[in-house]
Amino acid sequence: MSPPYRSYEYAPHHHPHDDGRGMPRRPPPPARNAPPPPQRGQSRGYALVHGGKQVRIGPVVFWIITGSIILMGAWSAATATYFAFRDDVLTRLIARQAEMQYAYEDRIAELRSRIDRTTSRQLLDQEEYDQKLARILQRQSALESRTNALMALPDNAATGSIRPSRTTRGTPKPSPINDIAPPSTVPAEREASLGSRWSMFGSAHARNGRQRVPEAMVRKLEASLDKIEHRQTASLNAAEGRYDGRIKRVRGLISDLGLNLAKLEAATPRGHVGGPYIPVRAPAANASDFDKQLYRVAQSRAQADKLNYTLAMVPYRKPVVGAIELSSGFGVRNDPFMGRPAMHSGLDFRGSTGDPVRATANGKVINASWSGGYGRMVEIDHGNGLSTRYGHLSAIKVKVGETVRIGDVVGEVGSTGRSTGPHLHYETRIDGEAVDPQRFLRAGARFGQG
């Protein structure tokens, strides 16, 4: 073994001749096993010493190794942090994905809701249009039924006079003899207007299927139906007023003549009629105003028809055609042969020989022969004690027992019997007693004028 080193401390001494300069230091002796200092011109590096062995590396390699160690440490720290906080990161990621999914689902649901609302609105609109069309078709069917009901109402109008029957062309006119008009005819354009409208509409509807009909067209159709309904209501009101007015006038006529309406109705022949009895049903409480009014009109019509048949047995018409020209009135007058006052039981109508003489009411011939001062005479029984006589005829056209109607020719004007010239002697009798025919003729004139 080598002897141990001794350490000595060197204390610098100051000498006066140093002029204040310090003494140069001596470098310390190199340490044992210390690497030799680098030589001039030799590159510097890093030396790793371990167990007396020395490894020298350059600065580049050193920093590469150092950077690798730092990167590995950073990677390890990042990995440790990731695994430490991975649950929170996954939770946030899942939550964000779920939030995005919910947002998409909400958006899809909103779009579906909009589509459903649009579809529902379209379905509601289509259903509304279908309901409108159904109501229009129902109204059209009801209006057609009303039109048929209105066409079944005849127009009974009285003329109050007797005119010869003539064969006319075109639209039939009321007979001037029986004072009963034929059923009212509806012009072709009126009858076809409703059908043409609806045939056009029906073809369009069938052509388009369930396509939506424009709102303007629906309003136009409804307005057209309203007009038709108003016209039908006006026609029904006119018919009701016409029947009610005729009933009042007939009753007024019979009242003016002093006749008993109940007896006249009971004596009126029913004619050759029949059929099963079907009672008329009154409209229900919830029926439409049109149906209720139509029922009232039907009742008034039946009553008016009954009064018409009764009135046909009342001789209130003229026995000759044309204007009335009387040569002698009813009552006391100077007898043309005796020149003294005498009772004249009828009216004398001027005329020419051969002019037709017509029955003034329905009845049955009870006399058709020569009758003293009447000459050739026809007497007609009208029932209920009413009868008429037609005297001084030049010819008789009926036979006893024959049924005659208003306006039938029963003879011709002449001058037979106690007569001074061609004229018609006309009498009206109630229960065999002569009454003034002027009362009947004036009442008939007022009745004809309405």
Q: Could you report the per-residue pLDDT of 4-41, keeping only the tens digit for each?
A: 444 444 444 444 445 555 555 565 665 555 555 555 54
8 Å CB contact between 387 and 429: yes
User: Across 155-164, 179-188, 425-434, which has the greatest mean pLDDT?
Assistant: 425-434
Average pLDDT, the chain: 77
Helices (H) and strands (E) in the chain, counts: 6, 14
- Lowest-confidence segment of 40-44, 135-139, 432-436 by average pLDDT: 40-44
| The CATH fold of domain 326-438 | Glucose Permease (Domain IIA) (2.70.70)
Beta strands 386-396; 409-413: pairing state = antiparallel
Is pLDDT of 151 > 50?
Answer: yes
Distance CA 155, CA 301 (A): 10
Q: What is the pLDDT of residue 95?
A: 86
Nearest CA to 347 among 371, 320, 367, 322?
320
pLDDT of residue 215: 73
Instruction: Tell me the pLDDT band of 401, cut-offs 50, 70 and 90.
Output: very high
Residue 216 confidence (pLDDT) above 70? yes
165 pLDDT higher than 70: no
Tokens of 262: 């109940």
Mean pLDDT (whole number) for 222-250: 85
Helix axis angle for 437-449 and 215-256, nearest 10°, is 170
Residue 191 phi, psi (nearest 5): -70, -35
pLDDT at 1 over 80: no
> Are 361 and 430 within 8 A, CB to CB?
no
- Mean pLDDT across the stretch 143-171? 55
DSSP state of 28: P
Q: Is the Cβ–Cβ distance between 344 and 333 less than 8 Å?
A: yes
Residue 370, phi-psi category: left (phi > 0), alpha (psi -120 to 50), beta (remainder): beta
Q: Which residue has the higher pLDDT, 168 or 278?
A: 278
| Residue 435 backbone dihedrals phi, psi, to 5 degrees | -125, 165
Interatomic CA distance for residues 241 and 407, integer angstroms: 28
Cα separation, 435 vs 331, whole angstroms: 9
How far is it, in rounded angstroms, from Cα 372 to Cα 416? 10
Name, in order, each residue with C-beta under 8 angstroms of 305's C-beta and a sequence gap of 6 or more: 156
Q: What is the pTM of this model?
A: 0.54
- Give me 410's structure tokens: 């029963």
Which is nearest to 396 in space by CA: 419, 418, 417? 417
Measured CA to CA, the distance from residue 292 to residue 237 in angstroms comes to 12
The CA distance from 56 to 42, in Å, is: 13
More reliable by pLDDT, 29 or 433: 433
Round to whole Å and give the CA distance between 412 and 396: 7
Strand, coil or helix: 239: helix
Cα separation, 445 vs 450, in Å, equals: 9
